[in-house]
Amino acid sequence: MTAPAPDPAARPATASTSGSADRSPAVSISGSADRSPAVSIAEPVVDPATASGLGAGVRASAVGAPDAAPAGRATGVEAPIGRVVIVGASAAGLAAAETLRREGFAGTITLLGDEASAPYDRPPLSKQLLSSVWDADRLLLRTTEQFAGLDLDLHLSTRATGLDPVNRVVRTATGRTFGFDALMITTGVRPRTLPGRPAHVLRTMEDALRLRERLTPGCRLVVVGAGFLGAEAASVARGLGCEVTLLEPAPVPLAHAVGLPVGRILSEAHRDHGVTLRTGVSVAEAVAEGVALSDGTVIEADEVLVAIGSHPNTEWLAGSGLTVTDGVVCDEYCAAAPGVYAAGDVARWHNPLFGVSMRIEHRTNAAEQGMAAARNLLNPGEGKPFTPVPYFWSDQYDMKIHAYGYLRDHDQVETVEGSLPDRRFLAAYRKNDRLVGALAVGMPPKAIRPWRQHIATATAWSTAVGTTSTTWATAVGATTTTTGATAVSATSTTGATAVGATSTTVATAVGATSTTSGTAVGGPTPSGAAVKEKS
């Protein structure tokens, strides 16, 4: 990555004494420039000769290896932390900032966000905001007063473009530098896009408002991708009177995530509500008339929404020495290197509860991981592994779907309560010999709680499920039958094709501009910006 031109206003790295030189008064929300770090710590950390630069930290870190020495643990001499930089001002970054203060951290907290808006909530973007039930203001996560109380050195519209591991500074698109003693990476993800003409995506408030404006009655909307986001948008668009076509490469939407039987039930809801659902369809590109399939067929549309997954915003970390493999690779303490942590959508960490490396793009995880990582950042010698039961919900038509645990790669799914055809059920997921997940539609909390508890305590499948479950679900378990295996395989193949094409686009855009997104909001990206400008 090319370093930006030096900022004449930036302090020399070897003479760091306070963060005030780095402040951007125009957007600083409080009087944090006057804050004196509890302990001055700058010199030992910025001097590569005396301190572990990031590179050294990475060598010592345990990224992704559960049995190696964790980076989140004490690694020797540690300087007190006076300045924390959080890159990414969405749910995870905000949770981290609040946790630092709640835990008594009195030093400088610099929060960088690439969107213009103060932190806001994303799940309503494809729900209440898109349907106009809520105004945008209702999505703001904190009031102005609450922000002021946090005494943050807040820089919005500020995209991080680089991380200097030796001097321990974050560079931004404007050429500014922000020195840190500890770093929290919460830069989130951005939507994958299609080749061809710009199409709608749904990640930022701006995206949602732009799409909302176009969803008038009778509008022909094509949604590419029938995952949870695409399904929610299709559901809202139908409610607004649009003609909706939902295109999905897999034979059964979401089968890879929730299993075939549940995927089928969720798909039926689309058809029942008048959505044209086409599965096994590979989309090649967005074109003037709509979208072109890989066989050349064009499906006409007034508006096209692309919801084919996301890409972690990690390009700005190139050359930092951090390991990036579909996210910032962290150990079970959410540490990527000594003094460097990651949380939220961008973080890939080892979750000991499930024994696997995972990256979770759920709202709840962003907050929980931001909190956990912040605590570990402050207490590296006494870090606690981050072992959550992932949770997400989805609103589709009249269904509210709750899912707990790690459903992906399950070996078996069974309906243990209610009935799938009634769309009122609880499905349990097995991996090896244990219960790893549960998905509920229309079930009361009393029915769900024990299952969540079982997942949290790694209960054996035989103990959790017993003999109460229906047997037919076993026969269609995602990976236990020929049909299931075929479907899953088909999903992977077509998915990979679509993703491959998308990745190329992203990579090209990134290469052309040499900067990428730098905040948790995963917002405007090179490709995303193109969408904005041209649509």
Partner 1 sequence: MKVEFDEPKCVAAGQCAMVAPDVFDQRDDDGVAILLDPTPPEDQHDSVREAAAVCPAAAIRLTTP
The site for partner 1 (CB under 8 A) is made up of: 95, 98-99, 102, 121, 123, 138, 141, 149, 362-364, 367-368, 371, 391, 393, 395, 400, 402, 444-446, 448-449, 452
> What's the closest the beta carbon of residue 91 comes to partner 1, in angstroms?
8
> What's the closest the beta carbon of residue 141 comes to partner 1, in angstroms?
5
Which residue, 104 or 466, is less far from partner 1 as judged by CB? 104
Which residue, 270 or 362, is less far from partner 1 as judged by CB? 362
Edge-to-edge strand order for the sheet containing 347-351?
328-330, 347-351, 356-358
Which residue, 166 or 391, is less far from partner 1 as judged by CB? 391
Which residue, 331 or 395, is less far from partner 1 as judged by CB? 395
> What's the closest the beta carbon of residue 51 comes to partner 1, in angstroms?
32
Which one, of 275, 285, 278, lies nearest residue 251 by Cα? Answer: 278
> What's the closest the beta carbon of residue 453 comes to partner 1, in angstroms?
9
Strand, coil or helix: what is 275?
coil
> What's the closest the beta carbon of residue 148 comes to partner 1, in angstroms?
13
| Contact predicate 127/171, CB 8 Å | no
| Contact predicate 271/252, CB 8 Å | no
Which residue, 231 or 371, is less far from partner 1 as judged by CB? 371
Which one, of 442, 493, 421, 476, lies nearest residue 258 by Cα? Answer: 476
Which residue, 95 or 189, is less far from partner 1 as judged by CB? 95
Show Cβ contacts of residue 99 under 8 Å, excluding neighbours closer than 6 positions.
370, 371, 374, 375
Whole-angstrom Cα Rg for the chain: 23
Cα separations in angstroms, 74 against 48, 70, 341, 378, 379: 19, 9, 14, 11, 9
Q: Which residue in the block uniquely carries the two structure tokens 């408002």?
A: 209
| Contact predicate 61/327, CB 8 Å | no
> What's the closest the beta carbon of residue 387 comes to partner 1, in angstroms?
14
Which residue, 114 or 395, is less far from partner 1 as judged by CB? 395
> What's the closest the beta carbon of residue 283 comes to partner 1, in angstroms?
31
Strand, coil or helix: what is 516?
coil
Which one, of 385, 113, 412, lies nearest residue 260 by Cα? Answer: 412
